[in-house]
Protein backbone atom coordinates (compact mmCIF):
# COMPACT_ATOMS: atom_id res chain seq x y z
CA UNK A 1 0.00 0.00 0.00
CA UNK A 2 1.10 3.57 -0.67
CA UNK A 3 0.13 7.09 0.30
CA UNK A 4 -2.79 7.85 2.60
CA UNK A 5 -4.39 4.45 2.03
CA UNK A 6 -1.36 2.67 3.45
CA UNK A 7 -0.62 4.87 6.40
CA UNK A 8 -4.17 5.50 7.48
CA UNK A 9 -3.86 2.03 9.01
CA UNK A 10 -1.67 3.62 11.68
CA UNK A 11 -4.81 5.19 13.07
CA UNK A 12 -6.62 1.86 12.92
CA UNK A 13 -4.30 -0.33 14.93
CA UNK A 14 -1.85 -1.09 12.10
CA UNK A 15 1.22 0.32 13.84
CA UNK A 16 2.84 -3.03 14.61
CA UNK A 17 2.48 -4.16 11.01
CA UNK A 18 3.99 -0.95 9.68
CA UNK A 19 6.86 -1.11 12.18
CA UNK A 20 7.67 -4.67 11.16
CA UNK A 21 7.50 -3.77 7.47
CA UNK A 22 10.03 -0.95 7.84
CA UNK A 23 12.30 -2.69 10.35
CA UNK A 24 14.94 -3.42 7.66
CA UNK A 25 15.10 0.31 6.85
CA UNK A 26 15.87 1.19 10.48
CA UNK A 27 18.52 -1.55 10.68
CA UNK A 28 20.16 -0.44 7.44
CA UNK A 29 20.34 3.20 8.54
CA UNK A 30 21.67 2.23 11.97
CA UNK A 31 24.46 0.15 10.43
CA UNK A 32 25.24 2.89 7.91
CA UNK A 33 25.66 5.49 10.67
CA UNK A 34 27.53 3.17 13.05
CA UNK A 35 30.21 2.61 10.40
CA UNK A 36 31.76 5.97 11.33
CA UNK A 37 31.16 5.86 15.06
CA UNK A 38 33.41 4.42 17.79
CA UNK A 39 32.73 1.00 19.26
CA UNK A 40 31.56 2.68 22.48
CA UNK A 41 28.38 3.69 20.66
CA UNK A 42 26.14 0.64 20.65
CA UNK A 43 24.23 -0.07 17.46
CA UNK A 44 21.29 -1.17 19.62
CA UNK A 45 21.04 2.41 20.93
CA UNK A 46 20.94 3.73 17.37
CA UNK A 47 18.33 1.15 16.47
CA UNK A 48 16.10 2.08 19.40
CA UNK A 49 16.37 5.77 18.56
CA UNK A 50 15.61 4.94 14.95
CA UNK A 51 12.47 3.07 15.96
CA UNK A 52 11.27 6.19 17.76
CA UNK A 53 11.92 8.13 14.58
CA UNK A 54 9.96 5.56 12.59
CA UNK A 55 7.02 5.85 14.99
CA UNK A 56 7.06 9.62 14.58
CA UNK A 57 7.14 9.20 10.82
CA UNK A 58 4.18 6.82 10.89
CA UNK A 59 2.18 9.25 13.01
CA UNK A 60 3.08 12.44 11.13
CA UNK A 61 3.36 11.34 7.51
CA UNK A 62 1.14 13.33 5.15
CA UNK A 63 1.06 12.01 1.59
CA UNK A 64 -0.39 15.30 0.37
CA UNK A 65 3.05 16.88 0.90
CA UNK A 66 4.31 14.90 -2.09
CA UNK A 67 7.11 12.89 -0.47
CA UNK A 68 7.27 9.10 -0.56
CA UNK A 69 6.94 7.56 2.87
CA UNK A 70 10.33 5.85 2.70
CA UNK A 71 12.04 9.16 1.98
CA UNK A 72 10.18 10.90 4.79
CA UNK A 73 10.79 8.03 7.23
CA UNK A 74 14.51 7.88 6.42
CA UNK A 75 14.90 11.53 7.37
CA UNK A 76 12.93 11.06 10.60
CA UNK A 77 14.85 7.90 11.51
CA UNK A 78 18.28 9.36 10.89
CA UNK A 79 17.29 12.58 12.61
CA UNK A 80 16.27 10.64 15.72
CA UNK A 81 19.59 8.79 15.70
CA UNK A 82 21.54 12.03 15.36
CA UNK A 83 19.56 13.63 18.17
CA UNK A 84 20.30 10.65 20.40
CA UNK A 85 24.02 10.94 19.67
CA UNK A 86 23.98 14.68 20.35
CA UNK A 87 22.18 14.17 23.66
CA UNK A 88 24.54 11.39 24.67
CA UNK A 89 27.65 13.63 24.62
CA UNK A 90 29.78 10.47 24.80
CA UNK A 91 32.98 12.05 23.47
CA UNK A 92 35.54 13.01 26.15
CA UNK A 93 36.45 16.69 26.38
CA UNK A 94 39.98 15.80 25.29
CA UNK A 95 38.61 14.59 21.93
CA UNK A 96 36.88 17.91 21.29
CA UNK A 97 39.96 19.87 22.42
CA UNK A 98 42.36 17.93 20.21
CA UNK A 99 39.90 18.18 17.32
CA UNK A 100 39.84 21.98 17.69
CA UNK A 101 43.64 22.02 17.81
CA UNK A 102 43.84 19.99 14.60
CA UNK A 103 41.30 22.18 12.82
CA UNK A 104 43.22 25.26 13.95
CA UNK A 105 46.48 23.85 12.58
CA UNK A 106 44.81 22.91 9.30
CA UNK A 107 43.23 26.37 8.99
CA UNK A 108 46.57 28.11 9.61
CA UNK A 109 48.35 26.02 6.99
CA UNK A 110 45.64 26.69 4.41
CA UNK A 111 45.65 30.43 5.13
CA UNK A 112 49.42 30.47 4.68
CA UNK A 113 49.16 28.55 1.41
CA UNK A 114 51.24 25.71 2.79
CA UNK A 115 50.79 21.97 2.30
CA UNK A 116 48.28 20.06 4.39
CA UNK A 117 49.62 16.52 4.35
CA UNK A 118 49.37 14.41 7.48
CA UNK A 119 53.03 15.09 8.25
CA UNK A 120 52.71 18.85 7.76
CA UNK A 121 49.62 19.11 9.97
CA UNK A 122 51.24 16.91 12.62
CA UNK A 123 54.36 19.12 12.56
CA UNK A 124 52.20 22.25 12.93
CA UNK A 125 50.53 20.68 15.97
CA UNK A 126 53.80 19.43 17.42
CA UNK A 127 52.67 15.80 17.51
CA UNK A 128 53.63 12.61 15.71
CA UNK A 129 51.86 11.47 12.55
CA UNK A 130 50.50 8.51 14.51
CA UNK A 131 49.02 10.79 17.16
CA UNK A 132 47.55 13.06 14.49
CA UNK A 133 45.97 10.05 12.76
CA UNK A 134 44.32 9.06 16.05
CA UNK A 135 43.02 12.61 16.50
CA UNK A 136 41.52 12.51 13.01
CA UNK A 137 39.79 9.20 13.69
CA UNK A 138 38.39 10.42 17.00
CA UNK A 139 37.36 13.75 15.52
CA UNK A 140 35.61 11.97 12.68
CA UNK A 141 33.32 10.33 15.22
CA UNK A 142 32.19 13.64 16.75
CA UNK A 143 30.66 15.01 13.55
CA UNK A 144 26.99 14.11 13.53
CA UNK A 145 25.82 16.31 10.68
CA UNK A 146 24.96 13.60 8.20
CA UNK A 147 25.93 14.83 4.75
CA UNK A 148 24.10 11.94 3.16
CA UNK A 149 20.89 13.83 3.96
CA UNK A 150 21.86 16.60 1.56
CA UNK A 151 19.96 15.21 -1.39
CA UNK A 152 16.77 14.81 0.60
CA UNK A 153 14.38 17.64 1.36
CA UNK A 154 12.70 17.73 4.73
CA UNK A 155 9.04 16.97 3.93
CA UNK A 156 6.52 19.45 5.20
CA UNK A 157 9.09 22.12 5.92
CA UNK A 158 10.90 22.87 9.17
CA UNK A 159 9.82 21.30 12.41
CA UNK A 160 11.74 23.26 15.02
CA UNK A 161 9.92 22.83 18.30
CA UNK A 162 12.49 24.26 20.68
CA UNK A 163 13.71 27.19 18.58
CA UNK A 164 17.10 25.53 18.00
CA UNK A 165 18.38 24.85 14.51
CA UNK A 166 18.88 21.10 14.39
CA UNK A 167 20.89 19.04 11.89
CA UNK A 168 17.95 18.39 9.60
CA UNK A 169 16.93 22.05 9.47
CA UNK A 170 20.55 23.08 8.93
CA UNK A 171 20.95 20.67 6.05
CA UNK A 172 17.74 21.93 4.46
CA UNK A 173 18.98 25.53 4.62
CA UNK A 174 19.81 26.66 1.07
CA UNK A 175 22.78 28.78 2.15
CA UNK A 176 24.30 25.93 4.12
CA UNK A 177 23.77 23.44 1.29
CA UNK A 178 25.33 25.76 -1.30
CA UNK A 179 28.31 26.56 0.91
CA UNK A 180 28.87 22.89 1.75
CA UNK A 181 28.68 21.85 -1.92
CA UNK A 182 31.22 24.55 -2.79
CA UNK A 183 33.62 23.48 -0.05
CA UNK A 184 33.34 19.80 -1.00
CA UNK A 185 34.32 20.84 -4.53
CA UNK A 186 37.47 22.46 -3.10
CA UNK A 187 38.64 19.33 -1.30
CA UNK A 188 41.81 17.55 -2.45
CA UNK A 189 41.09 15.00 -5.18
CA UNK A 190 41.42 11.95 -2.94
CA UNK A 191 39.11 13.36 -0.29
CA UNK A 192 36.64 14.49 -2.93
CA UNK A 193 36.61 11.01 -4.47
CA UNK A 194 36.04 9.39 -1.08
CA UNK A 195 33.12 11.73 -0.32
CA UNK A 196 31.54 10.98 -3.70
CA UNK A 197 31.89 7.22 -3.27
CA UNK A 198 30.55 7.30 0.28
CA UNK A 199 27.72 9.81 0.05
CA UNK A 200 26.67 9.59 -3.59
CA UNK A 201 27.47 6.00 -4.57
CA UNK A 202 26.61 4.75 -1.04
CA UNK A 203 29.63 2.43 -0.87
CA UNK A 204 30.84 1.25 2.52
CA UNK A 205 34.39 1.79 3.77
CA UNK A 206 35.62 -1.62 2.62
CA UNK A 207 34.25 -1.11 -0.90
CA UNK A 208 35.75 2.38 -1.10
CA UNK A 209 39.10 0.96 -0.01
CA UNK A 210 38.96 -1.53 -2.87
CA UNK A 211 38.19 1.23 -5.38
CA UNK A 212 40.92 3.55 -4.05
CA UNK A 213 43.47 0.81 -3.41
CA UNK A 214 43.87 1.55 0.31
CA UNK A 215 42.90 -0.12 3.57
CA UNK A 216 39.55 0.38 5.26
CA UNK A 217 41.23 2.19 8.16
CA UNK A 218 42.91 4.54 5.69
CA UNK A 219 39.53 5.31 4.10
CA UNK A 220 38.19 6.16 7.56
CA UNK A 221 41.12 8.50 8.08
CA UNK A 222 40.59 10.18 4.70
CA UNK A 223 36.94 10.67 5.60
CA UNK A 224 37.92 12.17 8.94
CA UNK A 225 40.41 14.50 7.27
CA UNK A 226 37.78 15.67 4.79
CA UNK A 227 35.24 16.28 7.56
CA UNK A 228 37.82 18.15 9.63
CA UNK A 229 38.68 20.31 6.63
CA UNK A 230 35.00 21.07 5.99
CA UNK A 231 34.32 21.87 9.64
CA UNK A 232 37.33 24.19 9.73
CA UNK A 233 36.17 26.06 6.64
CA UNK A 234 32.53 26.16 7.76
CA UNK A 235 33.01 27.02 11.44
CA UNK A 236 30.53 29.88 11.14
CA UNK A 237 27.84 27.30 10.32
CA UNK A 238 28.68 24.40 12.62
Assign residue 57 the CATH number of its domain.
Answer: 1.10.1740.10
Do 51 and 112 belong together in one domain?
no
| 148 has a pLDDT exceeding 70 | no
| 159 has a pLDDT exceeding 50 | no
Mean pLDDT of 125-129: 94
**pLDDT given at position 183:** 86
More confident residue, 233 or 151: 233
Q: What residue numbers bound the domain in which 108 lies?
A: 93-137
Do 71 and 109 belong together in one domain?
no
Do 120 and 61 belong together in one domain?
no
Do 37 and 114 belong together in one domain?
no
Domain membership of residue 80 (yes or no) is yes
Q: Which of 52-56, 169-173, 183-187 has the lowest mean pLDDT?
A: 169-173
Domain membership of residue 43 (yes or no) is yes
**pLDDT given at position 142:** 59
Identify the band that residue 231 occupies on the pLDDT scale cut at 50, 70 and 90: confident
**pLDDT given at position 38:** 61
**pLDDT given at position 61:** 87
Do 110 and 50 belong together in one domain?
no
**pLDDT given at position 144:** 47
Q: Which of 45-54, 155-164, 187-196 has the lowest mean pLDDT?
A: 155-164
Domain membership of residue 168 (yes or no) is no
Domain membership of residue 182 (yes or no) is no
> How does the average pLDDT of the chain come out, rounded?
77
Domain membership of residue 106 (yes or no) is yes
> Where does a domain end: 28, 56, 90?
90
Identify the band that residue 130 occupies on the pLDDT scale cut at 50, 70 and 90: very high
Number of domains in the chain: 2
Domain membership of residue 176 (yes or no) is no
Domain membership of residue 225 (yes or no) is no
Domain membership of residue 38 (yes or no) is yes
Over residues 172-223, the pLDDT tens digits come to 456 666 777 888 888 999 999 998 888 778 787 889 999 999 998 888 888 8
| 161 has a pLDDT exceeding 50 | no
| 146 has a pLDDT exceeding 70 | no
Over residues 10-27, the pLDDT tens digits come to 444 467 888 889 999 999
Do 85 and 98 belong together in one domain?
no
DSSP labels for the chain?
A: --HHHHHGGGGGT-HHHHHHHTHHHHHHHHHHHHTTS-TTS-HHHHHHHHHHHHHHHHHH--GGG---HHHHHHHHHHHHHHHHHHHH--S-HHHHHHHHHHHHHHHHHHHTT----HHHHHHHHTS-HHHHHHHHHHHHTT----GGGTTS--TTS---SSS---HHHHHH-HHHHHHHHHHHHTS-HHHHHHHIIIIIS---HHHHHHHHTS-HHHHHHHHHHHHHHHHHHTTTT-
Identify the band that residue 105 occupies on the pLDDT scale cut at 50, 70 and 90: very high
Amino acid sequence: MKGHAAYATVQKGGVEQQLEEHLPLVKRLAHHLSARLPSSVQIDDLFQAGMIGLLEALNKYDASQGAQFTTYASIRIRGAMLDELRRGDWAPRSVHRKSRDAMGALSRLEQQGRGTSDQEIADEMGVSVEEYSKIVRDSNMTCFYSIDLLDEETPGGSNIEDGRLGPLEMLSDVGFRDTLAKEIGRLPDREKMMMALYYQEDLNLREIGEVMGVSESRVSQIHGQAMMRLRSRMKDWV
